[in-house]
Amino acid sequence: MREILGRRRRLRFRRKRGPVQLEAALTCATEWHWPVLPGVGLKAAGSRGDRERACLCPDPECVVPGAHPFDPGILAASTDERMVRWWWTNRPTAPIMLATGGTSRAGASGGGRAPCAVSLSAVAGARALSALDRMGMRLGPVVATPTRWSLLVAPYTLEQLGELLFAKDCVPSSLRFHGEGGYLVLPPSETGTGQVRWERAPLPGSAAPWLPDVEAVVDALVEASTSAPDGGSRLAY
């Protein structure tokens, strides 16, 4: 009896859960038709463990360690299942980078453009979500890192964004707009500042997540950033 129990323990010990990035990347690419590519990633932690791990890119002063494209570049982002599998089979722990506002090449199964996003400091992001919830605003997915929160919104053009921001008296510099040609790191990636997670996760299912228009949320984001402790002038990556 002891031998049987011991064997069971060994089998249970071997069942370690591997990296989940591939599954998440395939969901984005093949079910939602969002073009993705692997991020640069992080250097291995030292023997004592690094609180903020360094980026694998050549820049020793990288301000977004691990959380940006490098090789391949952002233009290589794809919805092709074979390409996505190849990338994350070779680099199973690579961060998942969404090419925001990019055009999906999904063929007969459907196309369109990938989400855009607006990001702000984590403190301001929590305030903005509370304000939008009180207004009864329907929100889409929200990505959270230890320092910043990002609200995914419907695709917008630079012209639309320019007209929208021109009407504002003040737009805090801590707000970032991720439109066409930009990128955003998606869960369950790990970056130099910590784990990336869903603050508001997409609903399960094969359909692409619903996204609000940027016009519907930008007022609350500007207000929350302006009222942040630093007045919204500090850009925390």
Residue 3 covered by a domain:
no
- Comparing CA positions, the residue from 140, 158, 157, 117 lying closest to residue 202 is 140
Residue 149 covered by a domain:
yes
CA 25, CA 43: separation in Å to the nearest integer? 21
CA dihedral in degrees (222, 223, 228, 232; nearest 10)? 30
CB distance 168 to 177 below 8 Å: no
pLDDT of residue 150: 96
Give the chain's domain count: 1
Average pLDDT over residues 4-23: 54
Q: Say yes or no to pLDDT of 41 above 90.
A: yes
- Lowest-pLDDT range, 29-38, 45-54, 129-138, 146-155? 45-54
Residue 236 covered by a domain:
no
pLDDT digits 0-9 by tens, 199-227: 999 988 778 899 999 999 998 898 888 87
The angle, 0 to 180 degrees and rounded to 10, between the axes of the packed helices 214-226 and 122-134 is: 130
Residue 74 covered by a domain:
yes
Split at pLDDT 50, 70, 90, the class of 72 is very high
Report the SS3 class of residue 127.
helix
Split at pLDDT 50, 70, 90, the class of 141 is very high
Q: Say yes or no to pLDDT of 49 above 80.
A: no
Residue 13 covered by a domain:
no
pLDDT of residue 203: 87
Residue 70 covered by a domain:
yes
Q: Say yes or no to pLDDT of 138 above 90.
A: yes
pLDDT of residue 12: 41
pLDDT of residue 5: 39
Q: Say yes or no to pLDDT of 188 above 80.
A: yes
pTM of the model: 0.83
Q: Which domain does 91 fall in, by range?
A: 18-226
Q: Tokens 């939602």 belong to which residue?
A: 32
Average pLDDT over residues 151-177: 88
pLDDT of residue 16: 42
Split at pLDDT 50, 70, 90, the class of 158 is confident
Q: The tokens of 136 are what?
A: 């009864």
pLDDT digits 0-9 by tens, 165-182: 888 888 888 889 999 999
Residue 50 covered by a domain:
yes
Report the SS3 class of residue 139.
coil
Question: Do the bridges between strand 142-144 and strand 194-195 make them parallel or antiparallel, or are there none, so unpaired?
Answer: unpaired
Residue 192 covered by a domain:
yes
CA 172, CA 151: separation in Å to the nearest integer? 16
Percent of the chain residues past pLDDT 70, beyond the cut: 80
